[in-house]
Amino acid sequence: MRVSPLALLALLPLASGFSLPPPSFRAAPPTALGAAPPSEATAVPRNPNFAKLAGGYLFPEIGRRRARFLEENPGADIISLGIGDTTQPIPENILKGLVEGAQALGAKETYTGYGAEQGKAPLREKIAEVLYNGLIDPSEVFVSDGAKCDIMRLQQMFGPGVTSAVQDPSYPVYVDTSVMLGQTGELNEETGQYENIVYMPCTLENNFFPDLASLPRADVVYFCSPNNPTGVAATTAQLTELVSICKERGSILVFDAAYAPFIRSPDTPKSIYEIPGADEVAIEVNSFSKYAGFTGVRLGWTVVPNKLKFQDGTLVRNDFNRVMTTCFNGASNIVQAGGMACLSPEGMGEITKLIDYYLENAGILRETMLGLGYEVVGGTDAPYIFVGLGKDSSSWDTFSEILENTSVVTIPGAGFGPGGEGFLRLSAFAPREAVVEACERIKVWKGKQ
């Protein structure tokens, strides 16, 4: 027998003292304004942009497949080289900053409530000084609860009327937020691409840097370096070309530098503002998530230069400030104290050590896959390695095959856009023992083929 939620609610008073309002307030009766909605639905129309979104966000889908595998293989010893989530504890000095931030809330003299929506002034100053060597001004830094949220806030600022360009493959948030905002048409099931998005192919043939001049203009160009998922970091010459073409075409570049601290190669900029003139075209989003194991702590920032203007001459910074002051109430004061600790000399030393650890993991994964004869990119300036599976290999099929044979979770490249087909992304964020064990299992599986 089906019991309606309303009937279940009616039982609540017995258990909790909660009482239902009189029947006339419980549900809107059918009125002359429109037909009654189907049973158990409201009369609110769904935002049609959400209906355009393909199959759900990538990572929940991986989670569902992993859960199904575990259901069918209870007790399987799963190793995740999948989602890019950190696993190592927050280092001592940085943790101390977080603890002190929390403790300050427990005394009358040091208690603080709401802070500035743009972040605390000392943290904005430290970010400009320590991470940008003074290339930017503290007034251009907006401290936030993370880069992913900032990407959506930038999209809210740009609105539905712009066209966006993304690397293909790319971190799925740029495309999905463009769809949600109504910037795109429908998904073309055949190509796997949305209408009205410019896809910038990044392939083995072009060393994962798009042939910009051959591509149509877009208003907003999303570019991530070091890249998720490919692990490839763009050189000074490549970023100079990117800035120059954005300037020529009057586009705004949104540069995602969330993996900047992994860069070890020379001639590889950690910030777009290392490129002369970038402050006239580029916004940079960034995050403490991968710097210091803050994926669950939540702290990021976005730089919107004072020189950057819209077509009508108004400052982009002012509109972003309006979004932040309207939709955001400032990053947690506890967490901002943690951010200050990250940027102390001790904290920066701890970050380098932490990232060295993940880069060693990346080296182990890279060498293993190269040793097995795969084509591999990334893993030297990024925590991701991108493994070419050879012509005609489906990345979802290989993902399933590896999961079923080795209990190792990877990420199919196709989940990052059609250009990722034929690749697997491996994440170096797992603990060392897990990375070594996963490599052994993959070698055994490959040896049997």
Which residues contribute to the site for ligand PLP (CB under 6 A)?
84, 146-148, 171, 224, 228, 256, 258, 287, 289, 295, 300
Q: How far is the CB of 14 from ligand PLP (least distance, A)?
A: 44
- CA–CA separation, 387 vs 426, rounded Å? 8
Count of beta carbons in the 10 Å neighbourhood of residue 286: 28
Closest CA to 222 of 441, 416, 6, 439: 416
Pick between residue 386 and residue 442 the one whose CB is nearest to ligand PLP.
Answer: 386
Closest CA to 153 of 143, 168, 138: 143
Pick between residue 407 and residue 410 the one whose CB is nearest to ligand PLP.
Answer: 410
Pick between residue 120 and residue 148 the one whose CB is nearest to ligand PLP.
Answer: 148
Q: Give the length of the chain.
A: 449
Identity at 153, one-letter amino acid code:
R
- CA–CA separation, 65 vs 410, rounded Å? 11
Residue 173 token pair: 């948030």
Eight-state DSSP code of residue 34: B
Residue 40 three-state SS: coil
Pick between residue 84 and residue 119 the one whose CB is nearest to ligand PLP.
Answer: 84
Residue 148 token pair: 């992913």
Pick between residue 147 and residue 221 the one whose CB is nearest to ligand PLP.
Answer: 147
Q: How far is the CB of 120 from ligand PLP (least distance, A)?
A: 18
Contact 231, 352 (CB under 8 A): no
Q: How far is the CB of 98 from ligand PLP (least distance, A)?
A: 16
CA 128 to each of CA 24, 228, 257: distance values in angstroms, whole numbers, following the listed order: 58, 24, 15
Identity at 289, one-letter amino acid code:
S
Q: How far is the CB of 194 from ligand PLP (least distance, A)?
A: 19
Q: How far is the CB of 147 from ligand PLP (least distance, A)?
A: 4
Pick between residue 171 and residue 208 the one whose CB is nearest to ligand PLP.
Answer: 171
Helix/strand number for the chain, H first, E second: 15, 15
Pick between residue 331 and residue 442 the one whose CB is nearest to ligand PLP.
Answer: 331
Pick between residue 238 and residue 289 the one whose CB is nearest to ligand PLP.
Answer: 289
Per-residue HEC secondary structure of 102-156 comes to: HHHHHCCCCCCCCCCCCCCHHHHHHHHHHHCCCCCCHHHEEEECCHHHHHHHHHH
Closest CA to 379 of 360, 357, 398: 360
Closest CA to 304 of 136, 152, 146: 136
**Distance of alpha carbon 339 from its chain centroid, rounded?**
19
Q: How far is the CB of 146 from ligand PLP (least distance, A)?
A: 3
Pick between residue 140 and residue 284 the one whose CB is nearest to ligand PLP.
Answer: 284
Closest CA to 58 of 148, 147, 130: 148
Pick between residue 295 and residue 344 the one whose CB is nearest to ligand PLP.
Answer: 295
Residue 239 token pair: 């970023």
Q: How far is the CB of 72 from ligand PLP (least distance, A)?
A: 28
Q: How far is the CB of 337 from ligand PLP (least distance, A)?
A: 18
Site of tokens 């530098």 = 257
Q: How far is the CB of 151 from ligand PLP (least distance, A)?
A: 7
Q: How far is the CB of 351 from ligand PLP (least distance, A)?
A: 15
Closest CA to 441 of 426, 422, 423, 429: 426
Q: How far is the CB of 409 from ligand PLP (least distance, A)?
A: 16
Pick between residue 295 and residue 393 the one whose CB is nearest to ligand PLP.
Answer: 295
Contact 434, 83 (CB under 8 A): no
